[in-house]
Amino acid sequence: MIFFFLLVHVLDTSLVRVSPEAYTAVIGAYKNPLMALGETGLVAAIVFHAFNGLRIIAVDFWKKGAKYQRQMLWAVLALWVVTMVAFSIRHLSLALGGH
């Protein structure tokens, strides 16, 4: 999902050099409910990846990391849920509500 986003982002941004009108049209096409949900899924994947990466660093470099890895996983999931609830409310209200 992240790779696909980066690919599309590079391609649509490169349209500015070719045709600013085409770029504007493509960006306008992204403003729909399906894309808003896709963006939410993308952010969910990135946020989980980031929080879980910090957990893995702690497991690898903290002497007691392996002992507490299960508790840290639950902490990662709790942080992820809180972050995603807050983000989703804000993002979807802006994306779907228009303001």
Annotated binding site: 49
Q: Is residue 84 a contact partner of residue 43, using CB atoms and an 8 Å limit?
A: yes
Which positions make up the binding site for heme? 49
Q: Are 57 and 49 in contact (CB under 8 A)?
A: no
Whole-angstrom distance, CA of residue 30 vs CA of residue 15: 14
> What would the two tokens of residue 7 be?
């690919």
